[in-house]
Structure 1
Amino acid sequence: MKILHTSDWHVGKVLKGQSRAEEHKAVLAGVIEIARAEQPDLVIVAGDLYDTAAPTPEATRLVTRALTALRRTGADVVAIGGNHDNGPALDALRPWAEAAGITLRGSVRENPDEHVIDGTTAGGERWRLAALPFLSQRYAVRAVEMYELTAAETNQTYADHLGRVLGRLTEGFTESGRVHLVTAHLTVTGAAAGGGERDAHTVLGYAVPATVFPGTAHYVALGHLHRAQRVDGPCPVRYSGSPLAVDFGEQENVPSVTVVEVTADTAARIREVPVTAAATLRTVRGTLAQLAEVEQPDAWLRVFVREQPRAGLREEVQELLPRALEIRIDPELVPAPGSGTAVAQRSGRSPRELFADYLDSRGHADDGVRELFDEIFEEVDR
């Protein structure tokens, strides 16, 4: 059977105030075109369909249309909730999804059998998929208890609980003649972050070892980390990565989807298919003169300016580089904390004096900024 694995769409993403809506339309159209060309039997969307738990109607419309279009290619479609998604809200769409022939699992349900999905390809190959949406730490113990596993000890870790849940979902992965699959939205120890993930859900307390996946699985389709990568484990484990770079920390990533060909008796053959529809993200640095020479391709820019801070500098850079979304003084020019004069005592000193001390500590010598502060302070102090 053939599988198309994608994740971390983050529809509704706004980058430094810039909407990515048109890029997302183009990116998802590209994913759909890949599905039409590859003709997979199964499409897995491994979480973070949205960038926020309260998506706009436009974002909801785009995601539901994309899932519908993927289903119309003839593939079975399974999508799970990620840490950015509102799991119960996704579950509320399940009647629509079922009517459209799409399997949607937004959050962990009380009946574990709901997370074990069986199917048969048009060619008669049988498959079983254990689908685990993102599970937060505070619900991990409850999920273990719901599945009537051994009572959770208070000192057990998130990884212990997740391993128990996955063990329950994959306990039927011993039957021969069937392709066994897992999809989950989580962090695996040792995998590389893409650069734009939500830090609170990628720290060590949320990381699990790859040994939580059974050696009897033919392929594990993961979401959450935005860099496409293979993870060492007892079976083929992979992140598809995001099909577009969602933040400047991801500018080195290659947006793609993963195509997997596997049978019950042969190892998975895995390849990446690039998705190139979104604008690239690029970081440039230099003086104003150097920035004036920067070529301006169809990319969103992060600019590190190698000039001393002064009033109007941002506007000058913006005029040179209209696609600059983030403009900052180059960190190499900013004094490190504690490297300058000692922090002034605040007691008995005016706001003007304190602000002047701050500018001095940051190497900001523009008198125009001080004068502007004085004008604003006088205005609000009346």
Structure 2
Amino acid sequence: MKILHTSDWHIGKTLYGRKRYEEFEAFLSWLAGTISNEEVDVLLVSGDVFDTSTPSNHSQELYYRFLCRVASSCHHVIVIAGNHDSPSFLNAPRELLRALNIHVIGSVTENYEDEVLLLNNREGIPELIVCAVPYLRDRDIRVAEAGENIDDKERKLIDGIRTHYLKVCEIAEQKRKMLGVRIPVIATGHLFTAGGQTVDGDGVRELYAGSLIHVSAGIFPDCIDYLALGHLHVPQKVNNSDVMRYSGSPLPIGFGEANQDKSVCLIEFTGKEASVALIKIPVFQCLERIRGTWEEISARILELSQKKVWLEVVYEDEKVIGDLRERLEAAVSGTEIEILRIKNNRIIERVLNQINDKETLDDLNVNDVFDRCLALHDVPEEQRPELLRAYRETIMSINEDDSRTE
């Protein structure tokens, strides 16, 4: 029996305003082909299918087209909701999808047994039990009480998560005992385990507002033969265990993940013993972060001039370059290089140096920072109101675009 574990697709995610539908489509096509070529029996998707709770029409089309394609080659598909997903949105077509052996668990219910799936092979013989635990929201696992402090809240959250896994695993054990056959038990989850690795700019959110809760590997019952986790984007083991893993995101969510190898987990069971292999995901769009002096940046752009790549440029030098953007545009002219973000650390430092000792950057809004930039560049006072007005209109337009769905 072969099982493929993936998570954190974040379909619909943009990168500094650039839509990435071609990448998502390429990944899902590759994944469907891999499932067919590897003769995968069960696909596990451990949450964050979409990047927002209101995915665009294009995002939905990619998702459902993939499910239709993979249903013909994979015997079972299990999809759980992550913290980015809308439970009700994922759950809406689940009765229809079940006819294709696609099992969707968007949220917890009053009956723990709803999360325990007994899966049969193509001959109708039970072969696997999946404890399909979705992202556990605060209200699912904790009762708020007046006067509780952060420590009380974190203790209740951890106890609630532990209790939930104990309950579903007890049901899984009962099912296994009734069968009289020791078939494997897999559990899913979408959470942050202690010691989990993240990278700068990966968009991993704090799961519980006001709490830095990271659960320990010890909360998961011993009956679990493989733990398929989502939420962290770096592929990694939990507590150095081969059978407790984050598959990681299939695409780099930000430039901090640009050099990261992305993969899915292929699990094979021989009896109750699991062996895990990583299948590397191709790079569908090259990303690179270039940082340094102008000489270092321009030299690296020259090296990349024959490639199709998206760049984040971080300028770091004592010398102030006021026309950095113009220089960069000239450097990439005639190439397939696109610069999605420019960060001029020298300008930022000079702006921050204008903040008095009692101020922090958090005390300033975006308009304040723009005003400081105008002063830094000695823009005449009479020109500033019109520039500030145009800037505010631009920010408003960007915010409106971000709130729309297609």
Tell me which moved more, 57-66 or 314-323.
314-323
Gap change, CA 1:217 and 1:233, over 3 Å in 2:
farther
Q: Which residue pairs with 1:23 in the alignment?
A: 23
TM-score by length of 1: 0.83
Residue 251, structure 1, aligned to residue 258, structure 2: yes
* Residue 317 of structure 1, CA deviation: 1.7
Structure 1 residues 274-324: Cα deviation after superposition (integer angstroms, max 9, x where no partner)? 111421321102444443332143332110124655654323323424411
Q: Contact 2:351–2:373 at 8 Å: present in 1 too?
A: no
Residue 289 (structure 2) pairs with residue 283 (structure 1) = yes
CA contact (8 A) 1:213 1:235 kept: no
Once the two structures are TM-superposed, the CA of residue 264 in structure 1 deviates from its matched residue by 3.5
Letter in 1 for 2:312: R
Shift of 1:13: 0.5
305-314 vs 53-62, which deviates more? 305-314
Aligned residue type for 2:262: P
Q: Is residue 140 of structure 2 the alignment partner of residue 139 of structure 1? A: yes
**Would the aligned equivalents of 2:235 and 2:246 in 1 still touch at CA under 8 Å?**
yes
**Letter in structure 1 aligned against 2:96:** W
Structure 2 CA distance for aligned equivalents of residues 42 and 164 of structure 1? 27
**1:168-221 alpha-carbon deviations (Å, 9 max, x no partner):** 000144435211010111111111124413332289634211112111111010
Q: Deviations over 1:4-42 (max 9, x none)?
A: 000000000110000010011001111111111111111
- Secondary structure at 1:167's aligned position in 2? helix
Identity %: 28
- CA RMSD after TM alignment: 3.2
| Residue matched to 1:274 | 280
What 5-or-longer segments of structure 2 have no aligned partner? Answer: 145-151, 360-367, 390-406
Give the whole-Å Cα distance in 2 for the aligned partners of 1:79 and 1:7.
9
The amino acid that maps onto 1:82 is G
Offset at residue 89 of structure 1 (A): 1.0
SS in structure 1 of the partner of residue 212 of structure 2: helix
Question: Is the 2:320–2:347 Cα contact (8 Å) retained in structure 1?
Answer: no
Pairing 1:304–2:288 present: no
- Name the counterpart of 2:327: 316
What is the rounded CA distance, in whole Å, between the counterparts of 2:223 and 2:241 in structure 1?
A: 8
1:377 aligns to 2:385 (yes or no): yes
After superposing the two structures, state which structure 1 stretch, 272-281 or 159-168, moved more: 272-281
1:106–1:133 contact (8 Å) kept in structure 2: yes
Q: Which residue of 1 aligns with 2:344?
A: 329
CA deviation profile, 1:251-278 (whole Å, cap 9, x unmatched) = 2321111101113432x11111011142
Aligned residues: 356
For the Cα contact (< 8 Å) 2:243–2:276, is it kept in 1? Answer: no
CA distance in structure 1 between the partners assigned to 2:197 and 2:250 by the alignment: 16
Secondary structure, counterpart of 1:207 in structure 2: coil
1:197-236 aligned within 5 A: 197-201=203-207, 205-232=212-239, 236=243
Q: Is the 8 A contact 1:28 1:66 kept in 2?
A: yes
Q: Which amino acid aligns with 1:65?
A: R
**TM-score normalized by structure 2?**
0.78
Deviates more, 1:112-121 or 1:91-100: 91-100
Q: Hey, what does 2:268 align to over in structure 1?
A: 261
- SS of structure 1 residue aligned to 2:83: coil
Q: Higher helix fraction: Structure 1 or Structure 2?
A: 2
Summarize the Cα distance change of 1:137–1:33 in structure 2 as closer, same or farther, 3 Å threshold.
same
Equivalent position amino acid for 2:289 in 1 = T
Whether 2:193 is the aligned partner of 1:188: answer: yes
Partner Cα distance (1:136, 1:355) in 2: 36
Structure 2 residue aligned with 1:351 = none
